[in-house]
Amino acid sequence: MTNKVQTPETDIMVETKGKLETFFDNYGNKVLKALVVITLVAVAIFVVVGIMNNNTEKKEHAAQAALTVALTTEAEVEAYVAIANDYAGTKAANTATYMAGAEYLKAGDLENAKTYLAKYENAEGAAGEVINALVLTLRGDIAVEENDLQSAAELFNAAIAASNDIATCETNTHKLALVYRAMGNNEKATEAYKALVKNFPELTTSYAKYIAE
């Protein structure tokens, strides 16, 4: 019969195994309970997140429905304010803050217009980029009303950069050129029109007279 030779490695394994067995003998129940608690917590978190996501989705749908009604019925500014406040955190509420700002500006209420436009958060996607640009346009319009032409020029430039939508760029370029002319800088006004037709050659004929000046 061959005697097994105990190597240092074997001694370490035996010692380690003994320690593990002792640990689980002493703490096995506690470890098991801890694992059960952790599992239950994980399940609870999963359920809560699922409920929150479901509630968020419902809130978004409700907000979108309210916004659609407001837009299709040419609602007063109070309707947009209500959506922005009641459904805060939704995409529709964010759009409603833009609409509230636009309505306040149209009514000549610059302070409320600035307040709601400041609450707007940049949106993603092609449609979001257009609204992002329109918010900057409105802020530029406010700056013009306040005779802050330098800020207006910066905002109209930012609006042009925010979206490559042709109508949006054309509107903001025209506003920008008017501001530059009001500042006595006809050269920059011409440069603005040149940049517009460079990006949108189909508009060359419409702005040829401005470029030739």
Q: pLDDT band at 54, cuts 50/70/90? A: low
pTM of model > 0.95: no
Query: Average of pLDDT values for 27-33?
Result: 47
| pLDDT at residue 159, rounded to an integer | 97
| pLDDT at residue 51, rounded to an integer | 39
**Alpha-helix runs per DSSP H in 73-148:** 77-86, 91-106, 110-119, 125-145
Query: Average of pLDDT values for 126-143?
Result: 94
Nearest of 189, 191, 193, 190 to residue 180 by alpha carbon: 189
Query: Is 102 a residue whose pLDDT tops 80?
Result: yes
Number of Cβ atoms within 10 Å of the Cβ of 108: 8
Query: Is 53 a residue whose pLDDT tops 80?
Result: no
Q: Distance (Å, rounded) from C-alpha 59 to C-alpha 63?
A: 6
Residues 155-187: tens digit of each pLDDT: 999 999 999 999 999 999 999 999 999 999 999
Query: Is 2 a residue whose pLDDT tops 60?
Result: no
**How many CA atoms lie within 13 Å of 177's alpha carbon, on the beta-carbon side?**
19
In this prediction, what percent of the chain has a pLDDT beyond 70? 74
Q: pLDDT band at 26, cuts 50/70/90? A: low
Number of Cβ atoms within 10 Å of the Cβ of 128: 17
Q: pLDDT band at 39, cuts 50/70/90? A: very low
Domains of the chain: 36-121 (no CATH), 129-213 (1.25.40.10)
Residues 6+ apart with CB under 8 A from 43: none
Nearest of 205, 137, 190 to residue 165 by alpha carbon: 137
Contact 184, 192 (CB under 8 A): no
Q: Distance (Å, rounded) from C-alpha 18 to C-alpha 29?
A: 18
Higher per-residue pLDDT: 15 or 71: 71
| pLDDT at residue 64, rounded to an integer | 85
Q: pLDDT band at 74, cuts 50/70/90? A: confident
